[in-house]
A and B are shown apart, each in its own frame.
Chain A
Amino acid sequence: MYSRWIGWRYSGRGVARLEDLRLLRGAGRYLDDIRLDGMLYASFVRSEYPHARIKRVDVSDALKASGVVAALTYSDIEGRIKPWSFKSPSSPMYPLAGDRVRYVGEPVAVVVAEDPYKAEDAAELVQVDYEPLEPVVDPIKAMEPGAPRVHEEAERNIAFRKKLSCGDVARELARAEVVVADRLWIGRKYAASLEPRGVVASYSGGELTVWVSTQTPHDHRDELLERLAKPPRSVRVIQPDVGGAFGAKIEVYPEEVVVPYLAMLLGRPVKWVPSRREDAVSTTHGRDVGAELEVAATRGGEIRAVRGRIIADVGAYPLGVWLPLTAAKILPGAYKISSAEVEVLAVYTNKTPLAAYRGAGRPEGIFFIERMVDLLADELGLDPAEVRARNLVTPEMMPYENCFGWKYDSGDYVSTLRRGLSLLRVRELEEWASGERARGRLVGVGYAFYVEITSGGPFETARVTLKEDGSVEIAVGSTPTGQGDATGFAQLAADMLGVPMESVRVVWGDTSVIEEGVGTFGSRTLTVGGGAVIDAVSQVLERLRSRAGEVLGIPEGRVAYRPGEFYDMLEPDRVIGLADLVRRVYREMGESALEVVSAYSKYDPKTPVYPYGLHVAVVEVDRGTGRVRVLEYRSLDDVGRVINPVLVEGQIVGGVLQGIGDALYEEMKYGGDGHPLTLSLSDYGVPTAMEAPEKVEIHIQETPTHHPHGTRGVGEIGTIAAPPAIARAVENALGGALRVRRLPISPEEILRALESAR
């Protein structure tokens, strides 16, 4: 087990990120930095209506404009690019809309010109005759009989529906001592990456090369081969440096197929980079999920059953129908709930399609259950921590299968809650806050206990190669977009190989560098991708071990390993250094040395793992204006073994700030007429450094998992735990004047609550 050496030198320590020197010096190379000879620029014409029939698209004026090389509509690509079809009842999604548009921003035509200015000038000349149709805007009304339909195929606009149930809910509700009920909603989000999406494609000699700002280059490659009716001989997809993704760069988007097609059609490279407004309407949105729930319990606060429904407004196409399902599956949270019945509904509206956004379903499910537990505690007049403690899954129950089938791998929730309350000094905070409130300040403390699922399959890949000069090259199929995973991979490999980190080079994001890969999302990279690195290093070492036996003149069974060298178990002074051995292999085997010193791993994570923990927020509400400020934030998370605390901290702090956005600032709003209203960074409220809490205190607990390096995911914790903690803190600050049902919480709502409590 070579992985036992993980941690002897680098892993576990706050090693500075290998990525930073380049990125901070401005040497990063992002999508828009790519400039190719003879490159053309694409500009998309997009629907200005939420819902309309397209009667005619006329590109003749655009084609006459200066510098224009091509202008295409649906009829030009029909049969050449295959539309997307879905399992859900839905019309196909066309890369350029056919006879109907279903959201503001849906691509309708594309113009290609010599420079981006001319492309945009000409796009303005494309004439589209629309016949507006009644838009579907409210997901609840969308389900009423007689409501207009987004897709004729979908009755009552339902894209997906499933009932999850376990235990005997009817009996538990009938005999419940107390039942609390509520309706909750988390507003729609736009990932608002600093770098928008974008794609460059170039075609020559039968090979299509595509650069795309993505989290999933391998999926892009496969998708291109599938979508293009006449596929190129080969496709190479390259992920340049990515300036933020947050789940919204997982999907393969229409533009990302159309632009490669244009490069093939025109025989010249083509680039498309959207403006912020364009990105905001054309990049999948997140959240917009609600719940109507009843919780049955005993007077002592023991939860007996949960019943209700979870509804997602999935927008115009069914990309995100799995989101409410994920929310439902994590709904039991960290609690032993053995009877539950939840109807999961995904509903179409005329809005940008919904898909993954940091947390993707778990922030929603955890927000719902944590809100309900707080409500139950309030109803019973019990301490919310106590109600939680009474219901938490106990360590003896691990691994514990929640009643919708998700199997929590390990952990001690009960003692983590108790430990967290004291480590994070929650009682002291509460006491302080109530003293301040008595003096008239509206400060409050809230907390949430979460469990979440990370590190899913199906696999992740790595190829590790020991070079003749003693350096190590690691190519990975996962695709970090700023998290710093390359540093983590280098730490793991350097520990196992006994080499300095500086001699490890990690590359990723290129289908020609590694032929298979899944990607970076779902908090899986260091755990699953790291598993692949460890496995590949182990394979190389194992092969070299038998070589070492030959060199040392001893049977393989006697060869032992410590970082950087093999030695004779019986005579530990007889040693052959790894670097020497590698050089020897190259000398002796030449080209075919790689069969020994390079190994490929396709690592199967087998089962997901489940981080959990306690997050505490302290807020202050301005009595006059209703504005909320998060003053302080504290957390205790069990993230499994920590490879690098700097990376963990980065993920938690960033996630919490994004969670603050969820709770207080960010919402992609639509008017009643189906038009989006928040398409700029001044209208869409991404929190800035000025909105960050001044004090953040992070504690980590390291219960190992079944992975060789023992990690759990950490990337989405902040967005999962912060919203319910902040919601509770606001309630606490307002002394019960407001029950938080919807995020983001608005100052106006707070002010109204304060006024009516007066």
Chain B
Amino acid sequence: MYPPEFKVLVPSSLEEALKLLKEHGDNAKILAGGHSLIPMMRLRLVKPEVVIYLGKVPGLRYIRENGSTIKIGAMTTHGEIESSSLLAEKNPLLQETASKIGDLQVRNMGTIGGSIAHADPAADYPAALTALEATVVLKSLDGEREVKVDEFIQGPYFTDARPDELLVEVRVPSLSGRFGTAYEKLYFRATDFAIVGVAAYVEVDGGAFSRVRVGLTGVGDKPVRARQVEEELVGREASEASIEKAADLASEGLEPPSDVRASSEYRKKMAEVLTKRALTRALSKAKGG
């Protein structure tokens, strides 16, 4: 479990970091919390020649409200998201998701930028970020672009980022009105990655669902929205009975992987079960429960 030789560069400004990325491009890896990168390097699954450590770059660690958007710096840790009072009030879905990642040590080290850039198909955030229609901001010396998370993540460990681009920010909506959210995570042991994870976000208006978003992780190459469930519910009576019927659509079109933890069949079934649970809990919160 010893990686091959590599060089560590420690930029002290964003500008410098971007320059280094431009210079070393494909041979470089960004080091954020290291909780995914370092195990992979030790297993020699990735062998970067250069590792660019982001920890000394100022201005990448924040949670800030800006109009109807909450902006989160890429280097913000899961622990900081978990304990943010701003998020607890205005985006509890992300906060709950962060609280269910790994264990305390992982949450203290791992960063949201690292998690998204790593694009592990079993990671937790992508469910919530998909449901929230979140975006990420990518920066390079050539400029900046904003991409939707479900377009950014293209497959297992595979994203839309160019080698010279840095993920600098995550943007999620600041939620208000009669809304409720919930993240349901099926794990093997409490500290494990998700076998399946379902994030739900609902808004109710006059006794009916006015907006429904369901994001799933662990069920395929990349996070997905359960659009059929969403469509089925919008406009319907905001009740458990409606959810009961709609949740079965969550597995429609899914082709989840089979592995040591679970079969594809089981994952499909769990997509339905957890969708139902997440929606039920989100609804009860929306109703003030």
20 contacts between A and B (CB under 8 A): A116-B2, A117-B5, A120-B2, A121-B4, A277-B1, A278-B1, A624-B276, A624-B277, A625-B270, A625-B273, A625-B274, A677-B260, A678-B260, A682-B193, A685-B188, A687-B189, A691-B190, A747-B266, A748-B266, A751-B269
Which residue on chain A has the smallest CB distance to residue B259? A677
B190 CB contacts on chain A under 8 angstroms:
688, 690-691
Once A625-B186, A665-B188 are accepted as A-B contacts, the answer to whether A683 and B269 lie under 8 Å apart by CB is: no
Known: A624-B277, A625-B273. 16 other contacts (CB 8 A): A116-B2, A117-B3, A117-B4, A121-B4, A121-B5, A275-B1, A275-B42, A277-B1, A277-B43, A625-B186, A627-B186, A665-B188, A685-B188, A688-B189, A748-B262, A748-B265
- Say if the beta carbon of A183 comes within 8 Å of chain B: no
Contacts of A665 in B (CB 8 A): 188-189
- Give the docked Cα–Cα distance between A690 and B189 (Å): 8
Q: Which of A275, A278, A688, A748 has the most CB of B within 10 A?
A: A748
Question: Interface size for chain A: under 10, 10 to 19, 20 to 34, or 35 or more residues?
Answer: 20 to 34
The CA-CA distance from A275 to B192 in the complex, in Å, is 20
Shortest distance between the CB of A610 and any CB in chain B (Å): 34
Residues 625 to 647 of chain A near chain B (Cβ within 8 Å): 625, 627
* Docked complex Cα distance between A120 and B42 (Å): 10
A276 at the interface (CB under 8 A from B): yes
Cβ-closest 6 pairs across A and B: A275-B1, A690-B190, A624-B273, A120-B2, A117-B2, A748-B266
B269: nearest chain-A partner, CB-CB: A751
Q: Mark B271-289, 1 if CB is under 8 A from A, else 0.
A: 0011011000000000000
- Chain B, Cβ-Cβ closest to A624: B273
A678→B192 CA distance, assembly (Å): 14
Enumerate A658-697 residues with CB–CB distance to B below 8 Å: 665, 669, 677-678, 682-683, 685, 687-688, 690-691
Let me know if B108 is at the binding interface, CB within 8 A: no
- Taking CB atoms and an 8 Å cut-off, the chain B residues in 169-195 that contact chain A are 186, 188-193
Q: What residues on A are CB-neighbors of B44 within 8 Å?
A: 124
Instruction: Name the residue on B nearest A687 (C-beta).
Output: B189
Assembled-state Cα–Cα distance A120/B270 (Å):
42
For the complex, what is the distance from the CA of A276 to the CA of B2, rounded to whole Å? 12
Closest Cβ of chain B to A273, distance in Å, is 9
Distance in angstroms from A728 CB to nearest chain B CB is 23
Complex Cα spacing A278 to B43, Å: 11
C-alpha gap A578/B269 in the complex (Å)? 74
How far, in whole Å, are A685 and B43 apart by their CA atoms in the complex? 20
B85 within 8 A of A: no
Q: What is the CB-to-nearest-CB distance from A693 to chain B, in angstroms, rounded to a whole number?
A: 13
Known A-B contacts A625-B270, A683-B260, A748-B263; the reply to A690 vs B191 at CB < 8 A is: yes
* CA of A627 to CA of B270, assembled, Å: 11
Which residue of chain A has the shortest Cβ distance to B263 in the bound complex? A748
A121 surroundings in chain B (CB, below 8 A):
4-5
Distance (whole angstroms) from the CB of B106 to the closest CB of chain A: 11
Q: Mark A107-119, 1 if CB is under 8 A from B, else 0.
A: 0000000001101
B:233-289 near A, CB below 8 Å: 260-263, 265-266, 269-270, 273-274, 276-277
Separation of A627 and B186 alpha carbons in the complex (Å): 9
- For residue B121, give the distance in angstroms from its CB to the closest CB of chain A: 14
Q: How distant is the Cα of A575 from the Cα of B16 in the complex, in angstroms?
A: 84
Q: Which residues of B contact A625 (CB under 8 A)?
A: 186, 270, 273-274
Which A-chain residue is minimally distant from B273 (CB atoms)? A624
In this complex, the member of A119, A120, A624, A751 whose beta carbon has the largest number of chain B beta carbons within 10 angstroms is: A624
Please provide the chain A residues from 695 to 751 with a CB less than 8 Å away from any CB of chain B in the complex: 747-748, 751
CB of A688 within 8 A of CB of B191, answer: yes
Please give, as numbers and ranges, the residues of chain A lying within 8 Å of B4 by CB-CB distance. Answer: 117, 120-121
Chain A, residues 292-326, CB within 8 Å of chain B (1/0): the string is 00000000000000000000000000000000000
Across the interface, which residues of A come within 8 angstroms of B42, CB to CB?
A: 275
Tell me the nearest residue of chain A to B276, going by C-beta: A624
Q: Identify the closest chain A residue to B3 (Cβ).
A: A117
Kindly state the separation between the CA atoms of A581 and B189 in the bound complex, as whole angstroms: 60
Kindly list chain A residues whose C-beta atoms are within 8 Å of the C-beta of B276.
Answer: 624
Least CB distance, B64 to chain A, in whole angstroms: 33
List the A residue with the shortest CB-CB distance to B43. A277
Measured in the bound complex, the distance between the Cα atoms of B188 and A677 in whole Å is 16
A622 to nearest B CB, angstroms?
Answer: 9
Q: Encode contact with B along A60-89: 1 for CB under 8 Å, 0 otherwise.
A: 000000000000000000000000000000
Is the pair B266, A669 in contact by a Cβ cutoff of 8 Å?
A: no
In the assembled complex, the CB of A126 is this many whole angstroms from the nearest CB of chain B, namely: 14
Q: How far is the CA of A748 from the CA of B265 in the complex (A)?
A: 9
Closest Cβ of chain A to B266, distance in Å, is: 5
Within the complex, what minimum Cβ distance (angstroms) separates B178 from chain A?
27
Return chain A residues, CB-CB under 8 Å to B262: 748
In the complex, A443→B44 CA distance in Å?
45
Query: CA separation between A690 and B191, bound complex, in Å?
Result: 8
What residues of B have a CB within 8 angstroms of the CB of A117 in the complex?
2-5
Q: A612-626, CB under 8 A of B: which get 1 and which 0? A: 000000000000110
Contact of A691 among B3, B189, B277 (CB under 8 A): B189
What 0/1 pattern do residues 38 to 50 of B give for CB contact below 8 A with A? 0000111000000
Give the docked Cα–Cα distance between A120 and B5 (Å).
Answer: 11
**Distance A117 CA – B4 CA, assembled complex (angstroms):** 7
Task: Kindly provide the distance from the CB of B154 to the nearest chain A CB, expressed in whole angstroms.
Answer: 24
Instruction: List chain A residues, Cβ under 8 A from B43.
Output: 277
Nearest A residue to B265, CB-CB: A748
Contact of A682 among B192, B270, B277 (CB under 8 A): B192
Chain B residues with CB under 8 A of A624:
273, 276-277
A665 to B191, CA, bound (A): 13
* Interface members, chain B 124-164 (any A CB < 8 Å): none
CB distance from A187 to the nearest CB of B (A): 12
The residue on A at minimum CB distance from B270 is A625
Q: Which residues of B contact A124 (CB under 8 A)?
A: 44
Chain A residues near B261: list those with CB within 8 A: 683
Report B112 CB to chain A, min CB distance, Å: 20
Instruction: Name which of A276, A687, A747 has the most chain B CB atoms within 10 A of its CB.
Output: A747
By the criterion CB–CB under 8 Å, are A751 and B189 in contact? no
Q: How far is the CA of A120 from the CA of B44 in the complex (A)?
A: 10
| A685→B195 CA distance, assembly (Å) | 13
**A275–B41 Cα gap in the complex (Å)?**
13
Q: Is the CB of A669 within 8 A of B260?
A: yes
Chain A residues with CB below 8 A from B273, complex form: 624-625
Task: Knowing A625-B273, A690-B190, say if A276 contacts B1 (CB, 8 Å).
Answer: yes
For residue B110, give the distance in angstroms from its CB to the closest CB of chain A: 14
Q: Which of B1-28 contact A (CB under 8 A)?
A: 1-5
A678 to B, closest residue via Cβ: B260
| B2 contacts across to A, CB distance below 8 A | 116-117, 119-120
Contact digits for A360-374, partner B, Cβ 8 Å, 1 yes 0 no: 000000000000000
Contact with A along B57-70 (1 / 0, CB 8 A): 00000000000000
